[in-house]
Structure 1
């Protein structure tokens, strides 16, 4: 984001210089500029087919993504088209003005997109997640461990955990209630990895997935990913 803001500042300064010396300014290759802008739009439209814009957590984020994505190309196409139509005086005013507006749009949208996730970098486990208290609610044979908490922006808080069950019947009976319990404690989305006790399993309290890999290594069997 810092590099992007620096790029925008440099372009704004250059655009202000064009305002001052606009009587010397002209676009000498508008056709090349138009072709470049068209190719850029085509590539972005092709890439957009593989991007998941629906993952935006708010309308503001969706607007930021589209503005950041399309505003530079739209500016290039507009200026090139006007110059090909021989509107030199209009282009002399509009090109630096449009460049400043585009840089401002890119700077603002990139800043908003970054600050939306900045709290994730500064935040460890949210205060509403009293993990020790949550884990204490589980029985010894159905303990909760390897808990991970992370956020997708400011509105979605994910939680993943391993949960040990004595048998599949216990898993079927308690799985949904455990998810509901964690959701009630502040998790937006819950991902649970069930574990079932085995005869060769590790002592109670250890992770059965880790214990299984440990046993495979000592038995000479390949370790599954």
Structure 2
């Protein structure tokens, strides 16, 4: 009885030693996935109609999609590691086969779903368009946004507190696609020139 107990403990110790790298990797993947999904939803919640968050030259939506990709990849890796750990704990071949099939089906379905979600996220980045940052000689800054669909939605943004940019109300008539844009200033106006198109707007 004692001999069998000792042998069982030794087998369990060997099994745990073999599983330890996968368990550590599973823990890391779980943390990355959870953090990625939390960051994604938090960044999504920041979006406002007249406020844009810009960090390192990219919008909050761009960073949200990046977090989405990281979370999706970590989720798939975590599921694969979890299935492998469960299979390692099942000694009977008759039980291992259905668990392996079920795990493969769950992973495949999850991969297909996350691929669609990530593709939609990429489409959103493309439709969101580009941001052009202009700085005048006196240090005044202005951001021009243009949608990536047909380019007819152009807006001006002034820098706000922190990482925020505040949209100006009114119609922007310049087109950044026409050529390089420049910003010049006077005491009361800002003049934006993109290619051959020029528009003057009042200072904020």
TM-score after normalising by structure 1: 0.37
Name the structure where helix makes up a greater proportion of residues. Answer: 1
Greater relative CO, 1 or 2 (CA 8 Å, sep 6+):
1
